[in-house]
Structure 1
Amino acid sequence: MRIRDMNWSQVEARVAGDDRCVLPIGSVEQHAYLSLATDMILAEKVSVEAAEPLGVPVYPCLPFGMASSFAAYPGTISITLRSYIGVIEDILDSLHRGGFRRILIVNGHGGNTPVNPLLSEWMNRHPDSSVKLHDWWRAPATMAKVLETDAQASHASWMENFPWTRIEGAPIPNTVKQRIDFAAVGRVDALRKRERIGEGNYHGRFQRPDDEMAAIWQVAVEETRREIAEGWH
């Protein structure tokens, strides 16, 4: 269920018997021909579909993340590491005050993973709580399904091209992009990164058949559901 479909007293009653919740986090950044909001769309959708049979509340996705590498692409929003850590900490503190003790953070953006040390520090201060960070797209079962489908998979490639991340009126090429030079991209500023990355795909096809994407999505939802249901102790 979505937390937006509950009122405060319903939350209070629920946490008395089940103290789990899900917090999706994403990013608004370039995804080549796909939506700028791809990371937040996918993180929230996989969370909602995974949590629905369990009745665990899902918060709205935190839309903005750390995306400094893409700062030269119009539409991208990037939060500094120091600010982002503060936001995540404030959210966790709020969830704890509300009674949640088992919190699954479903992450849709690789640039957000530096929050891991914060989670460890936060749990040291809140030993009655458990927090898990679940990078849904590269979790073991999901990534295995991706690689089984096509080993050339990367940011803004086919592996993020779902019906719900496409933009109306923005055609997507049915071609294969050669792998970018990651070392060359990693040692320069955002403007030169854009020059070296081009439209935004790191490598691989821009699209694959929808039936293949549906099969990957099913694995991702099931794997995320297991994270919600299991492994808290």
Structure 2
Amino acid sequence: MRIRDCNWMQIETYLQRDDRVVLPIGSTEQHAYLSLCTDAILAEQVAVDAAQAIGVPVYPALPFGLSPYFMAFPGTVSLRVESYLALIQDMLDSVAAHGFRRILIVNGHGGNQPAASLAMQWMARNMQVRVKFHNWWNAPKTWAKVREIDPVASHASWMENFSHTRIAGVGQPQHQRPMIDLERLRQMHPGEVRRYLGDGNYGGHYHKPEDVMQALWQVAVSETAEVLDGPWL
């Protein structure tokens, strides 16, 4: 259930029977022909779909993350690392203060990995709370399904092209783009990144048939639900 569909009294009642909660985190950054908010959209939707049968509340996805390398692409928002980590800590402090004791962070953006380290540090100081950090798109079963479909897949390619992330009226290229050199990319300034990437796709086809994407989505939802359902030690 989405927190936005609940009032405070319903959450108070929920906490009498369960202490799990989901915090999706994403980003607002270029995704070639897909929505700038792709990472936030998918993190929240996979969390909502996974939590639905269990009845665990899901917060709105944090829409901003760490994307300094994409700042030459209009629309991208990137937080400073110190701002971002302070924000993650405030989110954890807030939900823990209300009595949530099992917190699942569902991450949709590779650049957000510092949040995983922060969560471990925070948990060491809050020993009554368990925190899991789940990269939904490259979790073992989901990534295996991606590789089964097509091993050439990455940022802004077909593996992020779902009905939730497409822009109405925007077509998708029909070719497969070769994979970029990630080590080279990591050494570039934002302007160089834009010139190197072109439209922003890191490599792979831009889209796949709807039934293929639905099969991938079901694996991702099921795997996320398994993480949420436990064990929690």
Give TM-score, length-normalised by structure 1: 0.98
Q: Tell me which residue corresponds to 1:169.
A: 169
2:39 matched residue in structure 1: 39
Structure 2 unmatched runs, 5+:
none
Distance 2:230 2:4 in 1: 24
**1:198-209 maps to which residues of 2 (within 5 A)?**
198-209=198-209
Inter-partner Cα distance in structure 2 for 1:189 and 1:231 = 42
Identity %: 54
Cα deviation for residue 183 of structure 1 reads: 2.4
Secondary structure, aligned partner of 2:75: coil
- Give the Cα–Cα distance (whole angstroms) in 2 for the partners of residues 176 and 79 of structure 1: 32
Aligned position for 2:210: 210
Q: CA RMSD in A?
A: 0.8
1:16 offset after TM fit, Å?
2.0
Who is 1:17 aligned against? 17
**Matched residue count:** 233
**Deviation readout 1:70-128 (Å, 9 max, x if unpaired):** 11100000011110000000000000111101000000000001112211111111100
| 1:144 to partner: Cα distance | 0.3
Equivalence for 1:100: 100
Q: Could you say what secondary structure the match of 1:164 adopts?
A: coil
- Aligned residues of 1:12 and 1:99 also touching (Cα < 8 A): no
In the other structure, the counterpart of 2:144 is 144
1:230 and 1:159 map into 2 onto residues whose CA distance is: 27
Q: Report the AA paired with residue 67 of structure 2.
A: A
Equivalent position of 1:227 in the other structure: 227
* Partners of 1:117 and 1:2 in 2: CA distance: 26
Which residue of structure 2 aligns with residue 61 of structure 1? 61
Note the 1:57-96 alignment, pairs <5 A: 57-96=57-96
* AA in 1 matched with 2:77: I
Moved over 4 A (4+): none
The Cα of 1:134 is off from its aligned counterpart by 0.4
Question: 2: distance between equivalents of 1:193 and 1:95?
Answer: 37
Amino acid at match of 2:63: P
> Aligned residue for 1:132?
132
CA contact (8 A) 1:173 1:206 kept: yes
Residues 116-175 of structure 1, C-alpha deviation per residue, up to 9 Å, x if partnerless? 221111111110000001000000000000000000010000000111111112110111
Instruction: Give the whole-Å Cα distance in 1 for the aligned partners of 2:79 and 2:132.
Output: 22
User: Matched residues in 2 for 1:177 and 1:166: separation?
Assistant: 19
2:115 counterpart residue number: 115
Per mean C-alpha deviation after superposition, the further-off stretch among 98-107 and 6-15 is: 6-15
Normalised to the residue count of structure 2, the TM-score between the two structures is 0.98
SS at match of 2:164: helix
